[in-house]
Amino acid sequence: MSERSDSQKMSGILHRSKSEIDSSSSGVKQRGDAVRKEMDALVNIPEENGSTPTKGGPVSPSPLRIFSQAKKKMNEIFIELDAQVKESTAFLKRISQGVVPVNLETVDHVEKQYSKIKGITEMVARDHMKVVFFGRTSNGKSTVINAMLRDKILPSGIGHTTSCFIQVEGTDEPEGYAQTEGSDEKFGVSSVANLSHALNQGHLGEESLVRLHWPKNKCFLLREDVVLVDSPGIDVTPDTDIWIDKYCLDADVFVLVANSESTLMQAEKNFFHKVSTRLSKPNVFILNNRWDASANEPEFMDEVRRQHLDRNLEFLTKELGVISNQQALERVYFVSAKEVLMTAQKKQQNAIVNPGAFPDGYLMRMQDFDTFERKFQECLSKSAVRTKFEHHTQQGRKIAHEMRNLLEEVYEQSNLTRALQEEDRLRQESLFHLKTTHFESMSVDFKEKIDALSRKAGQEVSFFLFQSKTFSFENGKNVKFFSQSDYCRLQGRIGAAADHRQPLHQKLADDG
């Protein structure tokens, strides 16, 4: 069967049309803008235009770029918030020593926000977009991750291959390395197979974790802070609660890798039912892997695809109830991860990729995987920004709100104190003016009285002097003597005048 006839045959049953795919390809920026409009204003960041194509990935800008930009902006905001809290706390402590009353317990509470802000900043720096892959044994989970990384990094093969969880994350170092959980010791990438391959006697347990650090410059997803987690088959153990608690609660997207050669099994459904009870509406994508096997039975291809699609949609919309039927159409895909990986490896070797060398329907499967990656990136970035930063945003707003309320309280108290002090100042000025006027009036009055007394005393002295008798001469000068009675009478009048003047001075002093 030719590629053209295969394409015509499948066009009627594809759950997404070619026009939709073309529109999606040409509208990445418009979708990114739509995502931004739904973001909180705190992380509303303009898009960076222009980027160098990265080996093993699409050309930026990508919806994933929103997360890294939001992460950078969030960090800048909390650094600024930290500086403002420190400055405000120092100001409150300083004014608390003055006339403005400040609750020092409240100031101490705000000061304790330093450590909280520092912790949030550190958490933001560590935040990443997390994707966890689940499915039954040998469904191709590791191969799907390798296909998305465009390189064979994880061990894969027939049978039970992955015995533990493997977390693939980016590193700025030029060479990759591996670490076991709780250890800083670095191992070579080749050791991952020994640590995680179920056929090796020294492999780790199913609940253990191997962290594989792969150079960011080799993979677009890792460069954009995406972490991919591979898992053992969910049919390995009946008790998966520990898996959910340990690896799923902080996941942004789940990818259920199903086997196209069989149907969606109850073990897979039960696992995601457990996940949905712990997480509100988890984002689940279903990859029907190994769809290239359908080329062996082309006469049943359409019917099998429709059967898988109906069951997948029913599981997502009715059983899990996480999305609508229209949304679910963008969550189910029919792919061959092995073909995607082989194609990527050939391109890396600069070899010519011949579609005719693959089973019929190769181009449709590649197109479906490409559509999956675009929709996956949109969902992942949107979900991660909300789940990772929403709590941080709420905490930051709470700290800023507390600080604002405290400063407003201090501001209002300062205005009240200022108004009271201004009122007291005006009252004191009025009283001072009143007393000053009264003092000046009394001073003038008392001065006139003193002058009058002085004039009267002078007149009386002159009168007595005039009435005195001269009875002796000495050295040719006329010497006046008073009689004893005249002298006593004059002394009495002068004393009376002095006694009258003394109370006036005392009264002036008291009033002043």
**Residues 447-461 pLDDT 10s:** 888 888 888 887 777
The pLDDT confidence band at residue 505, using thresholds 50, 70 and 90, is low
Residue 286 near residue 332 (C-beta atoms within 8 A): yes
Of 187-196, 229-238, 320-329, 454-463, where does the model show the most confidence? 320-329
Cβ atoms 426, 118 nearer than 8 A: no
Tell me whether the omega of the peptide bond preceding residue 238 falls within 30 degrees of 0, making it cis: no
Distance CA 17, CA 11 (A): 7
Asked whether 395 and 116 are in contact (CB, 8 A), the reply is yes
Residue 148 scores a pLDDT above 90: yes
Q: What is the mean pLDDT of residues 254-283?
A: 89
pLDDT at 149: 92
Contacts 24+ apart (CB under 8 A), 493-502: 493/457, 493/460, 494/457, 494/461, 497/453, 497/454, 497/456, 497/457, 500/453, 501/450, 501/453
Structure confidence at residue 331 (pLDDT)? 96
Residue 123: other Cβ atoms inside 10 A: 15
Cβ partners under 8 Å of residue 257, min gap 6:
133, 134, 135, 139, 140, 141, 144, 287, 289
Span 26-47, average pLDDT:
36
pLDDT of residue 248: 86
34: number of Cβ within 10 Å: 13
CB atoms within 10 A of CB 177: 18
Q: How confident is the model at residue 40 (pLDDT cuts 50, 70, 90)?
A: very low
Rounded to whole angstroms, how far apart are CA atoms 336 and 359? 10
Q: Which of 234, 230, 304 is nearest to 262 (CA)?
A: 304
In this prediction, residues 277-283 reach a mean pLDDT of 86
Q: For 203-241, how does the pLDDT look when each residue is reduced to its tens digit (9 = 90+)?
A: 677 778 889 999 999 888 898 889 999 988 887 777 778
**End-to-end CA, the chain:** 120
When comparing pLDDT for 320 and 503, which is higher? 320
Residues in the chain: 512
Mean pLDDT of 335-352: 92
User: How far is the CA of 180 from the CAs of 207, 213, 324, in angstroms?
Assistant: 12, 11, 40
Q: Mean pLDDT over residues 13-21, rounded? A: 39
